[in-house]
Structure 1
Protein backbone atom coordinates (compact mmCIF):
# COMPACT_ATOMS: atom_id res chain seq x y z
CA UNK A 1 0.00 0.00 0.00
CA UNK A 2 1.45 3.42 -0.94
CA UNK A 3 2.41 5.68 1.92
CA UNK A 4 2.64 9.44 2.24
CA UNK A 5 4.90 11.50 4.46
CA UNK A 6 3.59 13.94 7.03
CA UNK A 7 6.23 16.24 8.50
CA UNK A 8 5.43 17.79 11.88
CA UNK A 9 7.18 21.01 12.71
CA UNK A 10 8.98 22.51 14.53
CA UNK A 11 10.71 19.21 15.34
CA UNK A 12 10.85 17.89 11.79
CA UNK A 13 9.27 14.59 12.87
CA UNK A 14 8.42 12.59 9.73
CA UNK A 15 5.67 9.99 9.86
CA UNK A 16 4.53 7.72 7.04
CA UNK A 17 0.82 7.03 6.77
CA UNK A 18 -1.07 4.91 4.24
CA UNK A 19 -2.42 6.92 1.32
CA UNK A 20 -5.78 8.42 2.26
CA UNK A 21 -5.34 7.77 5.99
CA UNK A 22 -7.01 10.18 8.41
CA UNK A 23 -4.58 12.22 10.47
CA UNK A 24 -6.20 10.78 13.59
CA UNK A 25 -4.20 7.64 12.75
CA UNK A 26 -1.16 9.51 14.10
CA UNK A 27 -2.23 8.41 17.56
CA UNK A 28 -1.57 4.80 16.51
CA UNK A 29 1.65 5.49 14.60
CA UNK A 30 3.71 7.25 17.26
CA UNK A 31 4.09 7.18 21.01
CA UNK A 32 4.36 10.98 20.99
CA UNK A 33 1.21 13.05 21.26
CA UNK A 34 2.10 15.21 18.29
CA UNK A 35 -1.35 16.68 17.63
CA UNK A 36 -3.76 17.12 20.56
CA UNK A 37 -6.82 15.35 19.22
CA UNK A 38 -9.87 15.93 21.38
CA UNK A 39 -13.30 14.92 20.14
CA UNK A 40 -12.03 13.73 16.71
CA UNK A 41 -15.26 14.92 15.12
CA UNK A 42 -14.51 18.56 14.32
CA UNK A 43 -16.43 20.02 17.23
CA UNK A 44 -13.82 20.99 19.86
CA UNK A 45 -10.98 22.74 17.99
CA UNK A 46 -8.20 21.03 19.95
CA UNK A 47 -6.47 19.79 16.79
CA UNK A 48 -6.12 23.02 14.80
CA UNK A 49 -3.04 22.80 12.61
CA UNK A 50 -1.35 25.28 10.32
CA UNK A 51 -0.45 23.79 6.96
CA UNK A 52 3.03 24.94 5.96
CA UNK A 53 3.24 22.94 2.74
CA UNK A 54 0.97 20.59 0.82
CA UNK A 55 -2.48 21.91 1.69
CA UNK A 56 -3.82 20.09 -1.38
CA UNK A 57 -2.65 16.84 0.24
CA UNK A 58 -5.11 17.00 3.13
CA UNK A 59 -8.36 16.73 1.22
CA UNK A 60 -11.06 19.30 0.62
CA UNK A 61 -12.31 21.44 3.47
CA UNK A 62 -16.07 21.15 3.82
CA UNK A 63 -18.40 24.01 4.80
CA UNK A 64 -18.74 22.85 8.43
CA UNK A 65 -14.98 22.83 8.96
CA UNK A 66 -14.61 26.24 7.29
CA UNK A 67 -17.38 27.71 9.46
CA UNK A 68 -15.92 26.25 12.65
CA UNK A 69 -12.47 27.65 11.85
CA UNK A 70 -14.07 31.04 11.23
CA UNK A 71 -15.78 30.78 14.64
CA UNK A 72 -12.33 30.12 16.14
CA UNK A 73 -10.92 33.19 14.38
CA UNK A 74 -8.65 31.09 12.16
CA UNK A 75 -9.33 32.88 8.89
CA UNK A 76 -5.84 34.16 8.15
CA UNK A 77 -3.28 31.57 7.12
CA UNK A 78 -3.83 27.98 6.07
CA UNK A 79 -5.52 26.38 9.08
CA UNK A 80 -7.30 23.03 9.22
CA UNK A 81 -8.84 20.74 11.80
CA UNK A 82 -6.46 17.78 11.73
CA UNK A 83 -9.28 15.38 12.63
CA UNK A 84 -11.01 16.26 9.37
CA UNK A 85 -7.96 15.70 7.13
CA UNK A 86 -6.92 12.67 5.09
CA UNK A 87 -3.34 12.51 3.84
CA UNK A 88 -3.29 11.98 0.08
CA UNK A 89 0.28 13.21 -0.57
CA UNK A 90 3.19 14.73 1.35
CA UNK A 91 2.43 17.62 3.68
CA UNK A 92 4.13 19.68 6.38
CA UNK A 93 2.12 21.00 9.33
CA UNK A 94 2.50 22.37 12.82
CA UNK A 95 0.08 22.58 15.71
CA UNK A 96 -1.40 26.08 15.67
CA UNK A 97 -0.48 28.28 18.56
CA UNK A 98 -3.32 29.35 20.80
CA UNK A 99 -4.60 32.84 20.15
Structure 2
Protein backbone atom coordinates (compact mmCIF):
# COMPACT_ATOMS: atom_id res chain seq x y z
CA UNK A 1 0.00 0.00 0.00
CA UNK A 2 1.07 3.54 -0.73
CA UNK A 3 0.65 6.35 1.81
CA UNK A 4 -0.35 9.87 0.86
CA UNK A 5 -0.33 12.63 3.46
CA UNK A 6 -2.48 15.61 2.45
CA UNK A 7 -1.97 19.12 3.78
CA UNK A 8 -3.60 21.32 4.98
CA UNK A 9 -6.17 18.63 5.89
CA UNK A 10 -3.49 16.72 7.84
CA UNK A 11 -5.00 13.44 6.62
CA UNK A 12 -3.12 10.31 5.59
CA UNK A 13 -4.73 8.01 3.03
CA UNK A 14 -3.76 4.47 2.04
CA UNK A 15 -3.90 3.90 -1.72
CA UNK A 16 -3.10 0.86 -3.79
CA UNK A 17 0.37 0.81 -5.35
CA UNK A 18 0.32 2.61 -8.72
CA UNK A 19 -3.07 4.16 -7.93
CA UNK A 20 -3.78 7.52 -9.56
CA UNK A 21 -4.12 10.40 -7.11
CA UNK A 22 -7.55 11.01 -8.59
CA UNK A 23 -8.63 7.95 -6.53
CA UNK A 24 -8.69 10.30 -3.53
CA UNK A 25 -12.24 11.24 -4.45
CA UNK A 26 -13.28 7.66 -3.57
CA UNK A 27 -11.20 7.50 -0.39
CA UNK A 28 -12.35 10.87 0.98
CA UNK A 29 -15.93 10.99 -0.28
CA UNK A 30 -17.12 13.81 1.98
CA UNK A 31 -14.23 16.17 1.18
CA UNK A 32 -13.28 18.11 -1.91
CA UNK A 33 -9.55 17.42 -1.61
CA UNK A 34 -8.28 18.16 -5.12
CA UNK A 35 -10.36 20.05 -7.66
CA UNK A 36 -11.08 17.93 -10.71
CA UNK A 37 -11.45 19.24 -14.21
CA UNK A 38 -10.74 17.32 -17.38
CA UNK A 39 -8.85 14.42 -15.69
CA UNK A 40 -6.67 14.27 -18.79
CA UNK A 41 -3.86 16.67 -17.89
CA UNK A 42 -5.14 19.49 -20.09
CA UNK A 43 -6.87 22.02 -17.82
CA UNK A 44 -4.58 22.45 -14.78
CA UNK A 45 -7.40 22.35 -12.22
CA UNK A 46 -5.70 19.65 -10.14
CA UNK A 47 -2.28 21.21 -9.49
CA UNK A 48 -0.69 19.92 -6.29
CA UNK A 49 2.57 20.83 -4.57
CA UNK A 50 4.71 17.81 -3.69
CA UNK A 51 6.40 18.43 -0.34
CA UNK A 52 7.94 14.97 0.21
CA UNK A 53 8.27 11.79 -1.79
CA UNK A 54 8.48 13.25 -5.28
CA UNK A 55 10.33 10.11 -6.35
CA UNK A 56 7.40 7.98 -5.19
CA UNK A 57 5.21 9.48 -7.91
CA UNK A 58 5.21 8.43 -11.54
CA UNK A 59 7.44 10.44 -13.86
CA UNK A 60 5.78 13.53 -15.34
CA UNK A 61 5.25 13.55 -19.07
CA UNK A 62 6.61 16.30 -21.28
CA UNK A 63 3.03 17.49 -21.87
CA UNK A 64 2.40 17.75 -18.11
CA UNK A 65 5.63 19.69 -17.57
CA UNK A 66 4.74 22.08 -20.41
CA UNK A 67 1.31 22.80 -18.91
CA UNK A 68 2.76 23.30 -15.42
CA UNK A 69 5.30 25.75 -16.84
CA UNK A 70 2.56 27.59 -18.75
CA UNK A 71 0.54 27.89 -15.52
CA UNK A 72 3.53 29.24 -13.58
CA UNK A 73 4.34 26.01 -11.74
CA UNK A 74 7.45 24.99 -13.65
CA UNK A 75 9.96 24.94 -10.78
CA UNK A 76 9.76 21.16 -10.23
CA UNK A 77 7.72 21.11 -7.01
CA UNK A 78 4.31 20.76 -8.67
CA UNK A 79 2.35 18.04 -10.44
CA UNK A 80 -1.08 17.49 -11.92
CA UNK A 81 -2.85 15.07 -9.59
CA UNK A 82 -4.71 13.45 -12.48
CA UNK A 83 -1.37 12.46 -14.03
CA UNK A 84 0.30 11.08 -10.88
CA UNK A 85 0.45 7.48 -9.77
CA UNK A 86 1.84 6.80 -6.31
CA UNK A 87 4.33 4.09 -5.37
CA UNK A 88 5.45 4.63 -1.79
CA UNK A 89 4.91 7.54 0.58
CA UNK A 90 4.40 11.18 -0.34
CA UNK A 91 3.15 14.42 1.19
CA UNK A 92 1.24 16.95 -0.88
CA UNK A 93 -0.20 20.43 -0.36
CA UNK A 94 -3.52 21.29 -2.00
CA UNK A 95 -4.04 24.80 -0.66
CA UNK A 96 -3.60 28.17 -2.45
CA UNK A 97 -2.70 26.67 -5.82
CA UNK A 98 -4.67 28.84 -8.21
CA UNK A 99 -3.31 29.12 -11.77
CA UNK A 100 -0.83 31.99 -12.23
CA UNK A 101 -2.01 33.19 -15.67
- TM-score, structure 2 length as denominator? 0.90
The correspondence for 1:15, drawn from 13, 16, 30, is 13
How far off is 1:29 after superposition?
Answer: 1.1
Q: 1:56 and 2:55 equivalent?
A: yes
**How many positions carry a matched residue from both structures?**
97
Q: Secondary structure at the match of 2:24?
A: helix
Q: Where do 4+ consecutive residues of structure 1 move more than 2 Å?
A: none
Q: Distance in 1 between matches of 2:56 and 2:8?
A: 19
Q: What secondary structure is seen at the aligned counterpart in 2 of 1:92?
A: strand
Structure 2 unmatched runs, 5+: none
Q: CA deviation at 1:12?
A: 1.1
| In structure 2, distance between residues paired with 1:4 and 1:94 | 17
Q: Does 1:40 align with 2:39?
A: yes
The CA RMSD measured in Å over matched residues stands at: 1.1
Distance 1:5 1:45 in 2: 24
Question: In 2, Cα distance between the equivalents of 1:45 and 1:65?
Answer: 9
Counterpart CA distance in 2 for 1:47 and 1:96 is 11
Describe the SS at the equivalent of 1:36.
coil
| Kept in 2: contact 1:50–1:77 (CA 8 A) | no
What is the TM-score of this pair, normalised by structure 1? 0.92
Equivalent residue for 1:78? 77
The match for 1:69 is 68
